[in-house]
Amino acid sequence: MSVELLTEDTVVAYLQARGVISDTEKATVEILTGGVSNVVLAVQTPSKDLVLKQALAELKVATKWEADQRRAIVEAHAIETFHALSPQQVPALVDYDPDLFTLVLERVPHSATVWKSDLLEGTIYPEIGAKLGHTLATWHNFGRSSEESRKKFSEDLLFEQLRITPFYGTVAGKNPPLSPRIMSLVKELKSEKTTLVHGDFSPKNIMISEAQDVYILDFEVTHTGNPVFDLAFLTAHLLCKFHRAQDSHNRGLLRQTAQDFLKAYDAESEITHAPSLAWHTALIALARVEGTSLVNYLDESAQIGLTKLCKGALSETAPMNLLELFNGESQ
């Protein structure tokens, strides 16, 4: 079911009607860009600095991609859970409306930058990887120990719609020889549900302050599942950027970021990361070239190099060490 989407002209009255902002204060609205699955509007008054998200019924990508708007409700509950665990890294939930599929968050500092943009511009600090590894391990440890939270997020239809089908399914369909391996990875994700999984642990959903504080956003794919997916999703993004990098220095920093991320995670996590991590990473990276949600920053040469690497890794009889994916030249 689709609903009327809010705009910069209607959002203020909507928030006033819900009591989120006062009708006596002047409000300014800014359209925020970068996402493909939501309307995102920043609303600021003299006393409040907020971001409203409204889930879209159809994602803004080249290939038709529909998704249940009820993911906004899942995200609202997930933000409450993860904010309690990491209040300095997850913005607080201010309001959510299950009828219009909206949620309102406190805005992160305006000076914070999107980590994806930083990485693409060559601003690469491996210690960010370590911070993220620590945080993710904290979340996975909590999910492993909390039966209540696992039950709360046990529905994984959104993960199927937004991750399994467009990533694993599409790549398997385009690569019949790899299909058995890919289907075994899907089986692993579906059968080993041990903790809370963010499901979109990506540089585009991570913001970095001038002091290198980390803020993590977009929890709409949160579910009870296999923790290897969160690890692979982030490292796959780093691998794509490794193949875009034009010099050995930046490639080295990206490799170090992946290494520090996994090292910090392993040091904190009560869950040993799966031996199949490199396979999942290769599959997700390949999906960014051949799947439904494509990256827009790889030239033809980089796409060819990444495709060859990932298909080769998926063809191996045993999974390689994750960091072997980051060896050598990118093109």
Residue 162 predicted with pLDDT over 60: yes
DSSP 65: -
Lowest mean pLDDT among 33-37, 284-288, 316-320: 33-37
Residue 135 predicted with pLDDT over 60: yes
Do 136 and 69 lie in one domain? The reply is no
Do 220 and 141 lie in one domain? The reply is yes
Contact status, residue 159 vs residue 74, Cβ threshold 8 Å: no
How far apart (Å, rounded) are the C-alpha atoms in residues 251 and 244? 9
Picking from 194, 200, 96, the residue whose alpha carbon sits closest to that of residue 153 is: 194
Do 53 and 91 lie in one domain? The reply is yes
Backbone angles phi, psi at 310, to 5 degrees: -70, -40
Do 88 and 228 lie in one domain? The reply is no
Asked, for residue 3, whether it belongs to a domain, the answer is no
Backbone angles phi, psi at 132, to 5 degrees: -70, -35
Asked, for residue 298, whether it belongs to a domain, the answer is yes
DSSP 175: -
Do 85 and 186 lie in one domain? The reply is no
Q: What is the pLDDT of residue 60?
A: 46
Asked, for residue 149, whether it belongs to a domain, the answer is yes
Contact status, residue 271 vs residue 141, Cβ threshold 8 Å: yes
What residue type is 160 in one-letter code? E
Q: What is the pLDDT of residues 75-89, one digit of tens each?
A: 999 999 999 999 999
Q: What CATH number has the domain bearing residue 23?
A: 3.30.200.20
Q: Which of 106, 128, 152 is the last residue of a domain?
A: 106
Residue 63 predicted with pLDDT over 90: no
Do 234 and 300 lie in one domain? The reply is yes
Which residues is 95 bridged to in the sheet? 104
Do 207 and 58 lie in one domain? The reply is no
Asked, for residue 53, whether it belongs to a domain, the answer is yes
* Token digits of residue 268: 């904190």
Q: How many domains does the chain have?
A: 2
Q: What is the pLDDT of residue 55?
A: 81
Query: What percent of the chain clears pLDDT 70, i.e. is strictly above it?
Result: 93
Do 47 and 182 lie in one domain? The reply is no
Q: Which of 83, 106, 129 is the last residue of a domain?
A: 106
Q: Which residues of 2-19 are buried (b: 16+ CB within 10 A; e: fewer)?
A: eeeebeeeebbebbeeee
Do 93 and 164 lie in one domain? The reply is no
Packing angle, helices 228-244 and 277-290, rounded to 10? 50
Q: What is the pLDDT of residue 318?
A: 93
Do 73 and 158 lie in one domain? The reply is no
Contact status, residue 8 vs residue 42, Cβ threshold 8 Å: no
Range of the domain at 218: 113-326
| DSSP letters spanning 268-328 | H-SSPPPTTHHHHHHHHHHHHHHSSS--SS--HHHHHHHHHHHHHHHHSSSPPPGGGGG-S
Do 101 and 136 lie in one domain? The reply is no
| Nearest-5° Cα angle at 59, 245 to 113 | 45
Asked, for residue 210, whether it belongs to a domain, the answer is yes
Residue 138 predicted with pLDDT over 60: yes
Residue 330 predicted with pLDDT over 60: no
Asked, for residue 1, whether it belongs to a domain, the answer is no
* Token digits of residue 70: 């009820």
Mean pLDDT of the chain: 91
What residue type is 300 in one-letter code? E
DSSP 178: G
Q: What CATH number has the domain bearing residue 287?
A: 3.90.1200.10
Asked, for residue 303, whether it belongs to a domain, the answer is yes
Query: What percent of the chain clears pLDDT 90, i.e. is strictly above it?
Result: 80
Do 33 and 152 lie in one domain? The reply is no
Asked, for residue 6, whether it belongs to a domain, the answer is no
Under the banding of pLDDT at 50, 70 and 90, the label for residue 61 is very low
Q: Which of 51, 84, 106 is the last residue of a domain?
A: 106
